[in-house]
Amino acid sequence: MPLPTEPLRKLGFLTIGLFDEADPRRGHESTLGVIELGERLGFDSAWVRHRHLQYGISSPVAILAAASQRTSRIHLGTAVIPLGWENPLRLAEDLATVDILSGGRLNPGISVGPPMHFDQVKEALYPDTAELEDFSYERVRRLLDFVRGEPATTAGGIEGFEVFSDRVQPQSEGLGRRLWYGGASLRSAQWAGEHGMNFLTSSVVKAEESEDFAKIQLSHIRAFRAHHPDGENARVSQGLVVIPTDSASPEQRAKYEEYAQKRLPRTTTPQGPARLMFAPDLVGTSEQIAERLYAHAGFQEITEVAFALPFTFEHEDYVQILTDIATKLGPALGWRPAT
């Protein structure tokens, strides 16, 4: 259990990558610029979200392919790719390709379940097979097998001048150990552990046994490790929304506090049929945030984080927040920037 005297080992951040419909390139370039800044500041990892049929990153793998050519050290992750939108075999090819281009720095985070608004999108996404698609954990298992080198076909060999493989190509050594499951339930945590994945736990969990966010998250982390072959050494990354204000202007501080205040009511009780619990956004000086994190039962169990950036801020806000995280908050948690 990390204590104030023990260092945070890995510090990352997550961005949603919003853009203006009239000028999508500007938003995508901003996202790439933020990732480049993260590398210069010494962050260990940068993660991107997906937003299908919205004004955010719809192709995180493509974004990270571009980021792999603009960076040399920082690890690049997805948090998360919803497999309900993907063909596991094709995704395995894309992930391996980007991992090779990055020099082995890709950390794909995935999840399962029907696509959001499935009834409205299924005719476009799966016009002939919507009722037959399997959105269970089996879809994840297929991806794991393909990435880890299990046969994808009974064919293979030489046909004329062409050579065929029975495995997904390319195969990228080590990628299978860098696959993460983004889970919000106890069952997901257990399944990810049983299948040797890493585990992403975010600012959203399901209120299954409690309505105390930190206690729920703690139970997921412990269940994951209890079912993982690596036990206590199994990798878990926590992803709370963190907004340090050390170098923020008065206008920025006011904006950040208003943002967090508007989102606070959803953190008090479970939301919707799924009974989702949201963690409060952490706004304040790095010293104040560090104190709150060390008191958080979930944080006490982990040594890796990927702090989530707020959704709707401007590029200069993200520069200030990332700079404060790397130069103030990270060191307050015992972290040291990578070189």
Which of 182, 216, 172, 257 minimizes the C-alpha distance to 14?
182
What 3-state DSSP class applies to 47?
A: strand
- Specify the pLDDT at position 156: 86
- Which residue carries 């008191």 as its tokens? 295
Q: What is the pLDDT along the chain (339 residues), one digit of tens a residue?
A: 445 557 899 999 999 999 999 999 999 999 999 999 999 999 999 999 999 999 999 999 999 999 999 999 999 999 999 999 999 999 999 999 999 999 999 999 999 999 999 999 999 999 999 999 999 999 999 999 999 999 999 988 899 999 999 999 999 999 999 999 999 999 999 999 999 999 999 999 999 989 999 999 999 999 999 999 999 999 999 999 999 999 999 999 999 999 999 999 999 999 999 999 999 999 999 999 999 999 999 999 999 999 999 989 999 999 999 999 999 999 999 999 988
- Specify the pLDDT at position 1: 45
- Residue 198: is it exposed, middle or buried by C-beta count within 10 angstroms (0-12/13-18/19+)? buried
- Rounded to the nearest angstrom, the gap between the alpha carbon of residue 80 and the centroid of all alpha carbons in its chain is 5
Contact criterion met (CB below 8 Å) for 131 and 113: no
Instruction: Fill in the DSSP letter of residue 311.
Output: S
d(CA 217, CA 202) in angstroms, rounded, equals 9
Q: What are phi and psi of 78, to 5 degrees?
A: -115, 130
Residue 77: partners with Cβ closer than 8 Å, 6 or more residues away:
12, 45, 46, 47, 48, 64, 106, 107, 108, 109, 180, 306
- Which residue carries 């079912």 as its tokens? 227
Contact criterion met (CB below 8 Å) for 79 and 49: yes
For 110, the enclosing helix (H) or strand (E) is strand 106-111
Rounded to a whole number of angstroms, the distance between the first and last alpha carbons of the chain is 26
- Specify the pLDDT at position 209: 87
Domain limits, the chain: 10-153+166-332
Task: For the domain made up of 10-153+166-332, give the CATH fold.
Answer: TIM Barrel (3.20.20)
- Which residue carries 């419909």 as its tokens? 21
Strands 204-206 and 162-164: unpaired
The size of the chain, in residues, is: 339
- Specify the pLDDT at position 188: 98
d(CA 287, CA 332) in angstroms, rounded, equals 7
